[in-house]
Amino acid sequence: MPTLAVHGGAGRLDRRARRAEIDAALERALGAGFDAAGGGALDAAVAAVRVLEDDPLFNAGTGAVLTATGGVELDAAVMVAAGLRTGAVAGVIDFANPVELARAVMEDGRHVLLSGAGASRFGIDCGLAPIDPARLAGAARRQDGSLGGTVGAVCRDDRGALAVAVSTGGTAGKLPGRVGDSALCGAGFYADLAGAACATGHGEDFVRLVGCRRAVELLAGGMDAQTAADRLIEELEARVNGLGGIIVVDSAGRPGVAHNAPYMSWAWRTAGGSARWSD
Ligand code: ASP
């Protein structure tokens, strides 16, 4: 049985009032991920993230927050441990599922990160369907402001393959053009043979620390996923006074979750059981 962990963002907003809805969405994401896991860890992680991108509860895809000028600019990425293959997009304004665009960048293989108009052009050339940017920004304006968590997933499949997928609208009110950790390999996501990690929170902090690369390095040094997640968040606080959270899976299929932000929603399922933030 695979191990799949998902998160719905970390931050200062008290999201406990929406706990039942958030838990139900994370469960749906785990379910979609498990259904897709026969295809491998990447399929599982992407399927889980897609469900959350389509849910306006979360700051990704359809539910993304607005920039300082009232637009929507989405970042997303995927990575697999085998061959350190990765793909990412930044500043996407016209795709509701940028994680699919990121996957297409990885599969194409020429580049690891495409931004803005070039990412859109690439997506269209790959046969992915763009949407009117006004529809994404309109959906964002309808949010009540109390929600909005980045989404991510890490998976180790039955064959031992490891993958991560992440998607976000970035930080609310960000300057147009800002690119966060979720599009930057090693910062907001990373996968290598020792495990996979996905971050959420104040992206600039994870960029400075190259946080997810660091978490996987801790796994490679012999830590299990929970110990590495705890240590990474300690370092985030100690080194850059950072705020956020991280989900990790190690090569043995053990999950780990840690955060120093007041709130983080997450859930995981393994052969040995399951757990979620509200238990
Ligand atoms: N890390 C994301 C970013 O800074 C935001 C988040 O996780 O809520 O773009």
167 C-alpha to center of ligand 1: Å? 9
Q: Is the CB of 180 under 6 A from ligand 1?
A: yes
Query: How many whole angstroms separate alpha carbon 42 and alpha carbon 22?
Result: 23
The CATH fold of domain 3-271: Glutamine Phosphoribosylpyrophosphate, subunit 1, domain 1 (3.60.20)
Where do the structural domains in the chain lie, given as residue ranges?
A: 3-271
Could you tell me if 25 and 17 are in contact, meaning their C-beta atoms sit under 8 angstroms apart?
no
pLDDT digits (tens), the chain, 279 positions = 999 999 999 988 777 788 999 999 999 999 999 999 999 999 999 999 999 999 999 999 988 988 999 999 999 999 999 999 999 999 999 999 999 999 999 999 999 999 999 999 999 999 999 998 888 876 666 555 545 689 999 999 999 999 999 999 999 999 999 999 999 999 999 999 999 999 999 999 999 999 999 999 999 999 999 999 999 999 999 999 999 999 999 999 999 999 999 999 999 999 889 999 987
Beta strand segments in the chain, E: 3-11, 74-80, 85-92, 113-115, 151-156, 162-168, 189-192, 195-201, 244-250, 255-259, 263-270, 273-276
The sheet with strand 189-192 has its strands ordered as 189-192, 195-201, 244-250, 255-259
Our answer on whether the CB atom of 265 is closer than 6 Å to any ligand 1 atom is no
DSSP 40-77: -HHHHHHHHHHHHHT-TTSSSGGGPPP-TTS---EEEE
Residue 150 Cβ contacting ligand 1 at under 6 Å: yes
Ligand 1 centroid distance, CA of 204 (Å): 8
**254's tokens:** 């053990």
Question: What pTM was estimated for this model as a whole?
Answer: 0.96
Token couple for 70 = 């009232």
Structure tokens at 68: 């300082």
For residue 160, give both structure tokens: 């031992």
